[in-house]
Amino acid sequence: MSTFSGKVPGRMKAVVFAAPQQAELSDWDCDGSPLAPDDVAGRTLASLVSPGTEINFAYAGVDGIPGGVSKVKYPTLSGYAAIVEVDAVGADVKDLKPGDHVFQMGTHASRQRGKRANVIPVPAGLSAETAVFARLMGVTWSTLVTTTARPPDRVLVTGLGPVGNLGAQVFRAAGYRVTAVDPVEARRAIAQGVGIEDVRAGVPLDDRSLVGAVSLALECSGHEQAVLDACKMVRKRGEVAMVGVPWRRRTDLHAFDILHAVFHRYVTLRSGLEWEVPLHPTDFKVGNIMGDIAGAMDWLAQGRVKVDGLYELMKPTDCQAAYQNLLHQRGPGLSVVFDWAGMS
């Protein structure tokens, strides 16, 4: 039976940003009204912290990072992605049942509720703490479906945080020849551990075999120098996709430096924001967010992309330590997955 006759509980546990750089596990209101016909609800198994969006936009706040753009009103919920065990579905939902696991762009809370169109079944056998990384894979997957580069073209990835790491793996799995760059040794080691072979400490501007041979550069650090270096690496009419958010100014570079490289090398410099593609399939559009995430979970289930070393598994009760570790780039992983077992 797919219908649900009761109500979703009116209170839940949630990670709340009470103030800039202050996270706490609190009781929080949730929608306790009867489910709509196309609703899906359930308890959270795992939720993923985004070390970019969440840290810079919400947790640190405008006072936490000089030049930050956050306009958050505290207290506030945060979140990025969640895996949910379904325990209630609306009358029109026929393809999901209690006990099924689904992906949702949810909050860090013990319960989730959303429309059937906005949840994706998790492949059988894929753990919740692995499946939730499909959201971060989807960031560069949007570039994959919009780029003019085609395998086996060369792809340069600068910045090996979780988005860059997963992006390097996605493009490698799709048949591209990938060179990945990060100045931090620990991040390079993680990338090598998941099978990225050509990993370097700096952009190889002195490598004549690569300069002018790169078809696409995924700039995942948000650093101006990396954007300029990428523009110098790509072939004529090559693309530089700015995947990493430029949260703040980091150098004294002038716009002229980048403009000169773009003009003389015929560079296509563009945003790499994943929302360039629509949320759902749309006529005359290539790719969509939900389809990309579904594909990403399939690749995770097949082992084509790995998350080894990318995260630390923590309890929501330790949320303040989790966010502080990510803010100050300390701890064993590049991100955090909250384990909601036993939370209600």
CA distances from 282 to 57, 120, 277, 279, 305 (A): 29, 17, 9, 9, 27
CB-based contact 310:165 (threshold 8 Å): yes
How far is the first Cα of the chain from the last one, in angstroms, to the nearest whole number?
Answer: 24
Taking the CA atoms of 3, 293, 51 and 188 in sequence, report the sign of the dihedral they define: positive
98 φ, ψ (degrees, to nearest 5): -55, 135
Residue 203: predicted pLDDT: 98
Span 136-276: which CATH code? 3.40.50.720
CB-based contact 51:335 (threshold 8 Å): yes
Residue 157: predicted pLDDT: 98
Q: Give the largest Cα separation in the chain, rounded.
A: 67
Distance CA 121, CA 182 (A): 34
CB-based contact 78:15 (threshold 8 Å): yes
Residue 344: predicted pLDDT: 72
Q: Sketch the domain layout of the chain as residue ranges.
A: 11-133+310-339, 136-276
CA distances from 239 to 61, 83, 165, 227, 298 (A): 32, 34, 19, 11, 27
Distance CA 245, CA 224 (A): 10
Distance CA 273, CA 44 (A): 27
CB-based contact 51:36 (threshold 8 Å): no
Give the pLDDT of the chain (344 residues) as one tens digit per residue: 334 434 455 889 999 999 989 999 999 998 889 999 999 999 999 999 999 889 988 898 754 444 444 577 899 998 999 999 999 999 999 999 999 999 999 999 999 999 999 999 999 999 999 999 999 999 999 999 999 999 999 999 999 999 999 999 999 999 999 999 999 999 999 999 999 999 999 999 999 999 999 999 999 999 999 999 999 999 999 999 999 988 888 899 999 999 999 999 999 999 999 999 999 999 988 899 999 999 999 999 999 999 999 999 999 999 999 999 999 988 888 999 999 998 87
Residue 117: predicted pLDDT: 97
Residue 9: predicted pLDDT: 58
DSSP state string for 189-243? HHHHHTT--EEESS--TT-TTTTTTEEEEEE-S--HHHHHHHHHHEEEEEEEEE-
Homologous superfamily assigned to 11-133+310-339? Medium-chain alcohol dehydrogenases, catalytic domain (3.90.180.10)
pLDDT tens readout for residues 282-291: 998 889 999 9
